[in-house]
Chain A
Amino acid sequence: LPVPVELRNFSLYRRLSRTCRFNSFCDLKILFLQVWFKLKMSQAEKLKQGQFTNPETPGYVGFANLPNQVHRKSVKKGFEFTLMVVGESGLGKSTLINSLFLTDLYPERVIPGAAEKIERTVQIEASTVEIEERGVKLRLTVVDTPGYGDAINSQDCFNTIIAYIDDQFERYLHDESGLNRRHIVDNRVHCCFYFISPLGHGLKPLDVQFMKAIHNKVNVVPVIAKADTLTLRERERLKRRILDEIDEHGIKIYHLPDAESDEDEDFKEQTRILKASIPFAVVGSNQQIEAKGKKVRGRLYPWGVVEVENPEHNDFLKLRTMLITHMQDLQEVTQDLHYENFRSERLKRGGRKGPEPEEMDKDIILQEKEAELRRMQEMIAKMQAQMQKQGDE
């Protein structure tokens, strides 16, 4: 297989092999591939198993092989995923990201002191890492938001974040409407993990305001951080409280899609369990501790060891499963829902810098929209003509 352009950077390759350990990530990646495969299969017609291998069977056309081809192509191309983490400082965001992807995303991290924090505004830091596992490449971008919620007056702290999200959409829109659409880099934020503090009685006003500001732009997944502070009962109570408050304020968090009826029972059961555990209460750690004779990732306390990958201790595994099996779905929702919303808003506003045309008559709006559509179609036709000319030359 020819090595794709992105991987000709050999130093990246070396970094990959050094920083990534793929032990338990593997199984879930395989699961992801299986699920993805199934989804693609159910789109095509289902033929019996034997007909794949026997081309002489009457009535066999052969397009059942399509998913394999798609699979191969996607594997070659690699996947892109952008994850944003938002939350107050000290909630364990960086530790959780490192635990999820088994890497060290912040090797030279300096945690600023209180005096520096007072003057700081929210900043956006995006770090990209390419992870490879069994030939499948994932280009993961983690967008961190240090300084969120730190200042005494956090009134405007999320404007920077919203501006960033909009900016990524804008860039994608611009690329999509551009001439050369082959290598559009998708930096849109596909998922946002919002970290909720476990100390407290539910959502704070800042949490509510922030989630309401971005729930129409990005998939919001609420996560309860540092869940080892809570006993089981407190955890249940807090989860219920948070879900109630989310309903009360009308916040649209990301909902896992229901398993289709033709999926197998295990998958349906898994989806059901995942849905019941939102918001996930997680504990992150990358330290290996000896517990009961085996090495586990966890946190060592004088009174016991909290195991990160133990489903009875916390929901880390569930969060990881959700992220992996639904990575494709997250991307699709971002593309089909949030991006389309943004695009229509944007195009509606278009070149007009005036106030929102809500006072104008509906017909006039319709007419304007049609005019815009016609203009865009003309532009596209022109561009196609140009490309054809270039192709001929």
Chain B
Amino acid sequence: MAYQLYRNTTLGNSLQESLDELIQSQQITPQLALQVLLQFDKAINSALAQRVRNRVNFRGSLNTYRFCDNVWTFVLNDVEFREVTELVKVDKVKIVACDGKSKYGIRHK
């Protein structure tokens, strides 16, 4: 069971909205939608682990932190994301981080 961490991302949310529309129009069952999301979890975890090679550095000031159920949640302010090619500045960023080494994930709400 892969982390369901990525469902609340632009990609994951778009998928969930689309699936909801299909359910509404009775084109698929809710059970099928659930299976699609589970497959999405596997696919996105695998893709990020295997197909992403680039490195990004970021630096900012820590506003808050939390560690519960083995999940870290940070809120940073005035953050600079730095890649070799470019620089992105943001006022606020929320980071939710799950343990990379653990084989099984738990759904974090």
B is bound to A: no
